[in-house]
Amino acid sequence: MESKELVNLAAQACDEKRANDIVVLDMSDVSLIADYFLICEGSNERQVQAIARELKNQADEQGIDVKRMEGFDQARWILVDLNGVVCHIFHKDERHYYNLERLWGDASTVHIEGIEG
């Protein structure tokens, strides 16, 4: 699956669990880490875990290998590595503190059909 399709799948999975403020950054011109960053937030730890769990489940259903998942137990910032797409699922307080959108401000924002950021 291409990275563009993968980031769409990830955004839809996050949206299904009512993730807030979903933002996709095109990292291809600014970093070698990934093609895309998906950044979203949940309003509490349980929702943050539910978003990450749904993302993993949908990836598994599509036969996509989740390379790594970090921070699930604490549920303040869960990182899900889908190879070309790195998903950052934040608790709302942590998201504003780390402000990855500003840190990676040179990356362009990508619109995902059906998702309101």
The domains located in the chain, with CATH, are 3-106 (3.30.460.10)
| Residue range 6-36, pLDDT digits in tens | 999 999 999 999 999 999 999 999 988 899 9
State which H helix or E strand residue 90 sits in.
strand 85-91
Instruction: Look up the pTM and report it.
Output: 0.93
**Interaxial angle between packed helices 45-61 and 3-16, expressed in degrees from 0 to 180 and rounded to the nearest 10:** 140
Q: Are 28 and 35 in contact (CB under 8 A)?
A: yes
> What residues in the chain have per-residue pLDDT under 70?
1, 116-117
Q: What is the pLDDT of residue 116?
A: 67
